[in-house]
Structure 1
Amino acid sequence: MRLTAILLMLFLPFAAAAQDRVAMVIGISAYEDAAPLDGPRADAALLTQTLEGQGFDVTTLIDTDSATLKRELSDFAFQAETADIALIYYAGRRVASGGQSYLIPVDAPLAPASALRQQGVALPALLRAAGKARQIRLVLLDNCHAAPRQSTAPLPPPEPRLGTLVVTSGEVGACDKGGENAGLFAATLAEVLTEPDVEVGAMLDGFRATLRSRSGGSLSARRFGRLTPTPAFIAETDSADAAPQTWGDLDPAQSQRLAELARQGDTRSQLGLAALQSDPDDPRYDPETAVAQLMRAVETGSAEARYQLAQLYEEGRGVGQDEARATALYRDAAERGHAGALNDLGFIHLQGELGQETDSDLALDYFRRAADRRHPAAMFNFAAMIDDGKVPGRGAADAALYLYRALRAGDGTLLGLMQDEPKLFNSETRKALQRKLSDFGFYDGAIDGLYGEGTQAAIRAAFGMKAAEGQGEAPETVEETRGADTPEAPPSTPATPVAAPAQTPAAPAEETPKIDAEPEPGADQNVTPVLRPKQAARE
């Protein structure tokens, strides 16, 4: 049996994606089975203009039928995989049926329920489409146009996965009568999206306050879910400097705003403040205060707060080193669906760290659960264990599927490994990855397991370093059931993709990230590494 080495993943800058911010704007007005609406068209036009002005690649759908909307959502999900920010805005009718919230395309009936489930688009389909972006995932629902009749059942609250935020306008039907002009929700949103140098968390906080004030309290935007703990800016910055990539990059004014929001109890701001205060290289380093911030955030139920606090207990920063407490916090975060905690627990139990006994079966289960939540390092880890023959019932096609998904998720370390160490995986896995790249239009060369320039160019293109025209992922089924937003678990054999024109993407000019890490001493040369991000680099 091949040895499994431990490779510590250093914080590597990801290669630039071909399009780092994408948006879908949907406005449905001319309903066949209900009175037409004026507002959604104007709302969609305004949001399209605003987002394009901020550098988004925008897909705009006006009065779209059911089949087209489902197809466009599948295409957008593929596009979002290599984007840093994905945003979906919907203005149109939404109705509830069977405990599910449905968007109503222009040709979909409002009744009966069976027809609605077939032709409507369940809200989880939007969440899945935006949810594959690498950093920020926003779904904005303009409820002004939601209720077509008084008998409509109450809309159930959205249930996004960790890392996706849904914002609604509050009470269904509570909206100004904008007529052919954009409604108040859309107009206010467009305004805040153009405010420079405002981090997205602070931007949304200001949006909610402004909307509530302008509507006299009738529109009170509600939030569901949580954004990832990565700072992001929607509007172009006023300064010549690049937008901050970490919380430590915030300028004094932005840091002050972050601290104000943290004092007001905003969980994401508490996490951001704790991140910069726990960084030894930051002049604001104050690990004791970081621990206090995280303790407050833990009280809100934050899985990320538990994860960050576990790191501090593991290293003894700001608190006494306590491996048992660190392990308990990792487990608590994992039970709340935190993919990074699941991946770390897999590493901990594989190696017997933090006082835990070595348990490869338990480690495998943690890696699988994290991989099915699309954690890049975990997808690589699970692929490595499949490749080593340690996962019963899984083979080369499954390993290749996870490697492909890790590439799409933006794992710079994996990209570097595939470029510099192509024989880390066996020949059958390499062939299966070539097939997967071919299935999605990235590769049209020989399936031989040899990673020449054609395969290397395809790997870079799948990562997002250069887009190739005419390629698209096999559309995922738009499930219309209550359980449609459960974590995706791949089949033991890959699904047959929709045929796409095979192309060989041109090699991009960007440099491939280099690996600055070595396997543990004594490990064989032909080994499969398992990745655990360093403390300072974990997501």
Structure 2
Amino acid sequence: MSFFGLLLHSVVPTLLLIGSTFAASAAAMDTSPDEPSRRMAIVVGNSDYQSKRLEELANAANDASRLSESLKRLNFDVLTATNVTRDDFDRLLADAEKRLATASSVLIFYAGHGVQIEGQNYLLPVDTPDPESIEKLTGRAVKLNDVIARFASRERQTFVFLDACRNNPMGASGLGSNGLAQVEAGENTFIAFATQPGNVTVDGAGENSPFTAALLKSVEIPGLSISDMMIRVRNETEALTLGRQVPWDQSNLREQFYFTEQQVIDPTQLSASLSRILSDPVAKQKLQVELASNDLQTAVLIVGQTMRSIGSPLAVPASDPPAVAEQRGGTRVASLDGARQSVVSDLGTLIVGTSVEQGAEDSSKELARSVQTELRRLGCYRMAVDGDWGKGSARALNDYYKNTKQVAAANGPSVELLGDLFLRSGRICKAPVIVKKVRQTDVASQEAGGKPASTRTGNTKRRSSPARTPAPPPPDISSGIGIGGIF
């Protein structure tokens, strides 16, 4: 055999082995990786019931459709079904269960008839037969506890919203109870009822039920945790029903949840939103009302959603530039500086009146309060928002400058500073400023004429107070907030 024959005889098998190994590696690389974790929602609305004993619920299907639209904007993978039979229900839940492997959280919303029988809650499909007996009523019903057990997991957050306690379809028979019963929530689960246990809800005179209308109004507000959102939903529902409905919730979540955590706010559009609000007397008045309970950024976005929902010309046109403006020479530059100048002018009008330089004490205190509130939103300030600018506020401001890599322009509140804070998103300060307070016992002893505890002499032993654990920092929403808030 020639030299080249021997070479081929020895080298080719090696090359084939390397080639097969490389091909296997390439095949492994070509195999698409697991889908990224996502937020999944199952939304059901039952309106058209076949039984004459179960009244038609005109709003339930509307509730499901409208909420689905909101959840899609909030980056949920949504499975929506209306007027489902028991078989439809089973297929929907089976389809959702197949998608659980990549779901980081699951939201289940049900609007329709629900009933409590012997402490168990049942969701009624549209093909539920005439409720002549408990067996007949529950034979086609879906047991709520089974649904929760199917989707709840310690490793995944599960949210259940029930607009389902309309009435007792058993009527005067005395079987069952009005409303829904409290449930044993699965691990890492949040359950919200449209009204308190044992009470009934109303379908509502508008396009949506009072509970769902309140939920739609709040779910897209940027930066709200689910707990804060439910407070708004509860108050709004109670107001819409003149106190007849008070939404209820149960929770054993292991961490906080934000519907809008995947979104970002564009500073230029935010500035434009504030300018347009302040140019409209009605919108400006609504903004001042919202400022009583919200930070400036959230208040602007809430009013923006309200104006957009009623078709106000305050909406930012689609042709408006996003975050950049193109100069005449063709160079694209960030428009943030222009946004800051616009905001400073607007905030001067809003906070301190028409004259930014006026030195009224109440205006100065209100400005300090606004700056403290914005610093708190950004995670830099953890003390009381009281308008008194002291050492704690100054330290929080220095922490803000440090984390934004800015040279400290001043150590006190100003309209320019407020404008800069207003245009920031997420959590700027990772380690909030905590100022130690003087112990009450020390203050009391000094007021009584005694010596401070640290200088007392004699045989009296000082009690060592246990070290206080500082309050946990606010949840990190640094990835941004704000779907639907720019208008």
- TM-score, normalising length from structure 1? 0.41
Which structure ranks higher in relative contact order (CA pairs < 8 Å, sequence separation ≥ 6)? 1
